[in-house]
Homo-oligomer: A and B are copies of this chain.
Amino acid sequence: MISDKHFKKRLSIVGKKIIERGIDVAIVFNNLNIYYLTGFPRGRALILRPDSDPVLVVPELEFDEADETFKLGKTIAMKADLSFSDIICSILNEFPKKNVALERQYITIELYSTLSKRLEIPEFTDFSQCVLQVRSIKDPEEIELIRRALRITENSIKYALEKIHEDMSEIELAGEIEYAMRKYGAEGYAFNTIVASGPRSAYPHGSTTDRRIKSGDLIVIDVGAKYYGYCSDITRTIVFDSVNESTKKIFDVIIEAMDAAISKISTKVTGAEVDEIARKVIEKYGYGKYFTHSLGHGVGLAVHEEPGLNSRNNSLLSVGNVVTIEPGIYIRGFGGVRLEDMVVVREDKCEILNSLDRILF
């Protein structure tokens, strides 16, 4: 479990970066970044300074829960008659403001320019990447929570596959999986469950509908439980009832692509290189144009976070990154196959967090 010991360590890592960069005050707005540093999931702002306790700003209705959760600093309630910028300005006005950093990426243009005018700071230092970077390196407790979240999800897929029958709707199948996730302790869902069957399986992020399952359908199941804040993300594609040779072939290609990527993951490769390894396998078999998304993404408090396994990420992976490996082949009118595992990056290799079979039919 994540305790004050962890929050203290996280605040100190970020605190060191603030000092290194000569920042007087840093304002965190991303609510998962705030959650990561305080343990409270619905904060509006967290104000960090080199030599004083952090200040957590929450909506008035959240004050009691926030105040009981966050013990390493001060919690302030936003009263309804004050605007958000009023509160931020009144807190900042007590501090030196030569170098004020904030998460530019997570505020509106209006808030940015209001703060800029009222605090007389023409340009704020950008702080958008700092906490995200720290979050991308998971410690053993975080990896354990992600592993448990994943185990809940895997067991729930197994549970639901026992219940599947012809004419069951996608929504009903999602309901069985989610019911099991709750039974096994999921505090919630990492994202909207995807159950996309038949021709709809060709939509990579297809929503879950009242379409009823027929014999021969491909069914893409992409689902993730949340456990103590941490997300899991797994995809299995099944074939209901009967499978033909051309479909089997697609599964073989996907699995070869996964294995090729996984066998090369280490701190010596970039996100783009890992993506490329899997893509090459799929291209080799002539399915390149049907793999229309990136290979994977980091998972933690957010289901999509750093680092990305995609053509744009030219940074080396780091020990403690947790990423998905999810190649897919989607053929309009025919259907789609995607499989997704999660791995944690170690020095010279990676460790697969999944224990569920990739082929479930």
Residues of A within 8 A of B (CB): 41-42, 59-65, 80-81, 104-105, 107-110, 112, 171-172, 174-176, 178-179, 181-183, 185-189, 192-193, 202-210, 292-294, 310-312, 330, 332
Contact = CB atoms under 8 A, between A and B. Distances in A.
Contacts of A187: 171, 207-210
A172 B183 contact: yes
A61 B62 CA distance: 38
Contacts of A183: 172, 175
A176 B182 CA distance: 8
A186 B204 contact: no
A328 to B, nearest CB: 8
A55 B204 CA distance: 22
A61 B205 contact: yes
Given A63-B292, A104-B108, A202-B64, A208 B179 contact: no
A60 B328 CA distance: 13
A187 B109 CA distance: 34
B182 A175 contact: yes
Contacts of A205: 42, 61-62, 65
Given A65-B206, A204-B62, A311-B80, A182 B171 contact: yes
B64 A203 contact: yes
A179 B192 CA distance: 14
Central interface residue in A104, A181, A188, A192, by most chain B CB within 10 Å = A188
Contacts of A80: 294, 310-312
The 3 closest A-B pairs by CB, nearest first: A175-B182, A61-B293, A65-B203
A203 B40 CA distance: 12
Contact of A81 (B171, B192, B311): B311
Contacts of A63: 292
A42 B104 CA distance: 24
Central interface residue in A182, A187, A192, A310, by most chain B CB within 10 Å = A182
Contacts of A59: 293
A42 B208 CA distance: 14
Given A179-B178, A182-B171, A192 B188 contact: yes
Contacts of A330: 61, 64
Nearest to A178: B178
Nearest to A67: B332
A292 B60 contact: yes
Contacts of A207: 41, 187-188
